[in-house]
């Protein structure tokens, strides 16, 4: 009988849960539900993904056990110092969760420290016993699910990686063709949907390439090449978007005339991407060296104005970048799949040095977890009859740490998921379990319940419901050898959940002001502040010393303008329905364009530092970039775009001045003395300034369609 992947995955989770409970109960371990929780939270699509998450859970538990024992040994009788150190450690773990690749390791380290420390401090059991029990049962759950997933319908990460590579290269070819044919202008929604699919595949590729090496020797043997490929796909995504941003500027030109090699270029890029898809699909093919003789620099600029030359130069540079990326992708994949020798490749992929940048969003999430823990602790200390007792403190820490990376999740959504799942588990606990007299019947109930939750909440969009459902089932039923049944216990579980959500909501509302409209406006201001700083920093580049602090600020603000548009998308769903959300999304699309254009412009400014021809025009160019900086600074104060109306009129006056200035400079300079690279660099700078001006004009037009007074209105 044919079973769907959803049914197979649900059977594996249900079976592993039953086996984990059977072993824990047979060994007469206390709290066997800890093993059940480990099974629930590490179950993923492939064996490699589950093993990786399980290893992180065990590692986080080990760190948490050590941390909890150290804290308890330092402050066994000083409850306030105990809480200061515990909450500080939790704050560090929560921040690290949002800023490192091993997020789940730090997530587990944070909440397990709370569980072990608080449970040991509030019970008669030795702390070492609690810590060791947690480690044993976590290891049991991880090993059980790993064995089940490896034996029953195994799905390897290597196979998934090859399939993702094929899908990614086909998606890359499709978005390449649509970009160069200006598909965004014809069907923006379809293009953005295609772009979102490519981004999701790229993220999945990066995850699988890191995990598959753990279970496949073939992949581990060339793991450095897979890492290079992942970096190149990220570069490709950025390059194709940068190219799209410049398409409108050259659409009015006869590209077949000015770029006679363009058709051959497009055919070659599509051939390379199709070749990568064929390699990864396992289809038989022979290696052919990619064609690279396009004569890209031989563009016909006859009859073009200076600004048209600038736009064309910028466009050609982006095409050259895409050609180089796809060439390297093709060559590396040929080596990975055995069609080419590593020694025959003539290039190396440079990975940027990772310098830590303070993540403001992660810091806010960590601080919220810190405050939630303190509020719950004060309630626990001064309200002795609070339902749940120490469980309230533990769950407040668990929820606030786990939700620290999702600040836009509304409490109402948590209630809609948490309350029904708790009631479902309570019904099983009170109505079914008292009538069970053997593990066979108990195992059947566990399997059916876990299978049902996993099956109905299988999709990625329903992950939160799946986690809540499994966790509440395990915690509310409280299965053990010394099973007791109490209606008040089930009610307390629900009340504790409601109190934790109330604490979470109050901290979010009254301390961090996480109202979606306010966050949207704040992110807008942060974006324009970062853009304004980068232009000001560029203008002050020669006059001031390049200090460590200045380099850090530059990295920080580049990171801001690149990531803020993505963060803003997360807040859209929670914004009041009285505001047209489609218009807010269009604002974000404009910001993404502005972000890419500013980044490209900054790179060209950096290239021009040794450019002698640029030195002739430097004063005029700095004047134009200072005006841009002033316009962006005005948007920090008033993001509605009203101040840009005058700037748009001024831009129309300045464009002829720019062309005249370039023409005069070209006349003063002997063309034979100006290197082609320097000339093209200046054209790209001017094209970049023009494109940023255009993005600001687009923002001004789009901002007129947004209901700014309602967005800014103060309300609870």
Residue 350 lies in a domain: no
Whether the per-residue pLDDT at 678 is higher than 90: the answer is no
The per-residue pLDDT of the chain, averaged, comes to 86
Residue 615 has what pLDDT?
A: 66
Asked if 355 and 555 touch (Cβ cutoff 8 Å), the reply is yes
Nearest in space to 123 (alpha carbons), one of 416, 394, 478: 394
Q: Answer yes or no: is pLDDT of 670 > 60.
A: no
Secondary structure in 3-state letters for 174-218: HHHHHHHCCHHHHCHHHHHHHHHHHHHHHHHHHHHHHHHHHCCHH
349 occurs within a structural domain: no
The beta strand positions in 23-166, using DSSP E, are none
Residue 69 CA to residue 117 CA, distance in Å, equals: 7
| 134: number of Cβ within 10 Å | 22
Does 413 share its domain with 496? yes
> Does 121 fall in a domain?
yes
Query: Which segment of 271-280, 337-346, 393-402, 446-455 scores lowest on mean pLDDT?
Result: 337-346
CATH number at residue 299: 1.20.58
Cα dihedral 21, 24, 26, 31 sign: negative
Pair 683, 310: CB distance under 8 Å: yes
The answer as to whether 352 is a domain residue is no
Same domain? For 210 and 269 the reply is: yes
Residue 321 inside a domain? The answer is yes
Out of 487, 510, 533, a domain closes at 510
Residue 351 lies in a domain: no
Residues 505 and 520 reside in one and the same domain: no
Comparing 200-209, 383-392, 438-447, 605-614, the range with the smallest average pLDDT is 605-614
Whether 560 and 471 share a structural domain: no
Q: Six-digit token pair at 483?
A: 């099973």
Query: 369-418 pLDDT, tens per residue?
Result: 999 999 999 999 998 888 888 899 999 999 999 988 888 888 888 999 99
- Domain membership flag for residue 331: yes
Same domain assignment for residues 242 and 128: no
Same domain, 302 and 198: yes
> In terms of domains, do 478 and 539 share one?
no
Res 66: pLDDT: 96
Q: Quick one: pLDDT at residue 429?
A: 94
Each residue's pLDDT tens digit, 484-504: 899 999 999 999 999 999 999
Residue 194 lies in a domain: yes
Share of the chain above pLDDT 90, in %: 40
- Give the domain-ending residue among 483, 510, 537: 510
User: For residue range 121-160, what is the model confidence (pLDDT) as tens digits?
Assistant: 877 888 899 999 999 999 999 999 999 998 988 888 888 8
Average pLDDT of the residues in 293-309 = 71
Give the Cα separation of 242 and 236 in Å (integer). 10
Do residues 38 and 142 lie in contact, with contact meaning Cβ atoms separated by under 8 Å?
A: yes
| Domain end position, chosen among 292, 315, 344 | 344
DSSP 77-131: S-HHHHHHHHHHHHHHHHHHHHHSS-HHHHHHHHHHHHHHHHHHHTSSS-HHHHH
* Spatial contact of 246 and 314, defined as CB atoms under 8 Å apart: yes
- Residue 242 CB contacts under 8 Å (≥ 6 apart), including other chains: 318, 321, 596, 597, 599, 600
Which one, of 621, 618, 619, 612, lies nearest residue 670 by Cα? 612
- The sign of the CA dihedral 249, 198, 204, 362 is positive
* In the predicted structure, residue 612 carries a pLDDT above the cut 70: no
Do residues 674 and 540 both lie within one domain? yes
Q: Residues 677, 546: one domain?
A: yes
Same domain assignment for residues 403 and 325 = no
The confidence score (pLDDT) of residue 169 equals 95
Q: Which two tokens stand for residue 668?
A: 């003063």
Banded model confidence at residue 715, pLDDT cuts 50, 70, 90:
low
Going by pLDDT thresholds of 50, 70 and 90, the confidence category of residue 118 is: very high
Question: pLDDT at residue 245 above 80?
Answer: no
Domain count, the chain: 3
Most confident of 64-68, 304-308, 337-341, 435-439: 64-68
Q: Give the ranges where 345-461 is alpha helix by DSSP (H).
A: 360-382, 390-402, 411-427, 439-456
Contact 438, 455 (CB under 8 A): no
Confidence of residue 662 (pLDDT cuts 50, 70, 90): low
- In the numeric block, the tokens 């809480």 are attached to 83
Domain of 105, in residue numbers: 5-154+358-510
Question: Cα–Cα distance between 204 and 435 in angstroms, integer?
Answer: 45
Residue among 58, 40, 237 at smallest CA distance from 134: 58
pLDDT at site 189: 78
Token code pair at residue 189? 């929604």
What element of type H or E holds 162? helix 157-180
**467-495 average pLDDT score:** 92
Cβ contacts of 308 within 8 Å, gap of 6 or more: 253
Q: Do 704 and 568 share a domain, yes or no?
A: yes
Q: Taking residues 615-623, what's their average pLDDT? A: 67
Distances (CA, A) of 695 to 78, 248, 648, 657: 58, 11, 11, 20
Question: How high is the pLDDT of residue 491?
Answer: 93
Angstrom distance (rounded) from CA 25 to CA 591: 57
Does 88 lie in the same domain as 42? Answer: yes
């Amino acid at each position: 009988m044919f079973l769907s992947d959803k049914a197979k995955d649900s059977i594996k989770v249900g079976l592993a849960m039953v086996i984990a409970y059977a072993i824990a109960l047979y060994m007469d371990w206390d709290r066997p539900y800890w093993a059940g929780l480990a099974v629930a939270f590490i179950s993923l699509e492939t064996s490699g993904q589950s093993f990786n998450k399980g290893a992180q859970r065990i590692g986080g538990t080990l760190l948490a056990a050590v941390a909890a024992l150290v804290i308890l040994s330092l402050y066994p009788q000083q409850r306030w110092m105990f809480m200061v150190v515990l909450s500080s450690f939790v704050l560090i773990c929560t921040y690290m969760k949002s800023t490192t690749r091993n997020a789940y390791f730090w997530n587990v380290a944070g909440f397990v420290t709370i569980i072990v420390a608080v449970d040991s401090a509030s019970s008669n059991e030795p702390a070492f016993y609690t810590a060791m029990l947690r480690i044993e049962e976590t290891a049991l759950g991880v090993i059980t699910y790993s064995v089940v997933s490896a034996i029953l319908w195994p799905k390897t990460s290597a196979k998934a990686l090859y399939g993702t590579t094929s899908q990614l290269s086909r998606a890359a070819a499709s978005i390449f063709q649509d970009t160069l044919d200006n598909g965004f202008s014809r069907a923006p929604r379809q293009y953005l949907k295609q772009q979102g699919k490519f981004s999701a595949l790229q993220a999945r590729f990066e995850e699988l390439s890191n995990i598959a090496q753990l279970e496949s020797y073939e992949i581990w043997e060339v793991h450095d090449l897979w890492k290079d490929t992942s970096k190149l796909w990220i570069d490709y995504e950025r390059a194709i978007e940068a190219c799209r941003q410049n398409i409108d500027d050259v659409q009015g030109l006869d590209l077949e005339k000015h770029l006679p090699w363009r058709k051959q270029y497009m055919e070659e890029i599509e051939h390379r991407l199709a070749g990568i898809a064929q390699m990864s699909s396992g289809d038989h093919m022979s290696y052919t060296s990619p064609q690279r003789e396009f004569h890209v620099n031989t563009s016909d600029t006859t009859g073009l104005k200076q600004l048209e030359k600038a736009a064309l130069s910028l466009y050609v540079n982006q095409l050259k970048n895409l050609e180089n990326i796809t060439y390297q992708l093709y060559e590396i994949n040929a080596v990975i799949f055995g069609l080419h020798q590593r020694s025959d490749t003539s290039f190396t992929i440079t990975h940027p040095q990772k310098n830590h940048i303070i993540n403001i969003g992660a810091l806010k999430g960590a601080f919220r977890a810190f405050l939630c823990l303190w509020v719950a602790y004060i309630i626990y200390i001064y309200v002795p009859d609070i339902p749940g007792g120490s469980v309230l403190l533990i769950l407040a820490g668990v929820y606030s740490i786990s939700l620290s990376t999702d600040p836009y999740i509304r409490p109402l959504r948590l209630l809609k998921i948490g309350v029904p799942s708790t009631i479902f588990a309570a019904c099983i606990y009170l109505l079914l379990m008292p009538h069970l007299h053997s593990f066979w019947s108990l195992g059947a109930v566990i399997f059916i319940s876990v299978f049902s939750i996993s099956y109905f909440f299988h999709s990625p969009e329903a992950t939160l419901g799946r986690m809540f459902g499994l966790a509440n089932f395990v915690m509310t039923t409280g299965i053990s050898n010394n099973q007791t049944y109490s209606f008040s216990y089930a009610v307390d579980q629900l009340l504790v959940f409601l109190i934790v959500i109330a604490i979470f909501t109050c901290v979010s509302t009254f301390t961090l002001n996480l109202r979606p409209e306010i966050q949207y406006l704040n992110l807008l201001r942060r974006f324009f502040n970062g853009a304004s700083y980068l232009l000001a920093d560029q203008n002050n580049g020669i006059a001031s010393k390049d200090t460590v602090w200045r380099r850090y600020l530059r990295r920080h603000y580049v990171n801001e303008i690149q990531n803020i548009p993505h963060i803003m998308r997360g807040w859209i769903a929670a914004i009041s329905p009285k505001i047209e959300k489609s218009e807010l999304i269009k604002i974000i699309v404009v910001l993404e364009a502005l972000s890419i254009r500013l980044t490209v412009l900054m790179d060209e400014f950096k290239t021009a530092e040794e450019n002698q021809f640029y030195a002739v025009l430097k004063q005029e160019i700095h004047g134009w970039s200072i005006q841009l900086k002033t316009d962006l600074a005005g948007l920090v104060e008033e993001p509605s775009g009203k101040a840009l109306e005058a700037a748009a009129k001024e831009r129309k006056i300045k464009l002829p001045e720019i062309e005249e200035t370039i023409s005069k400079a070209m006349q003063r300079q002997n063309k034979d003395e100006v290197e082609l690279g320097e000339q093209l660099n200046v054209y790209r700078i001017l094209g970049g300034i023009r494109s940023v001006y255009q993005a600001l004009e687009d923002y001004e037009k789009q901002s007129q369609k947004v209901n700014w007074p309602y967005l800014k209105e103060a309300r609870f």
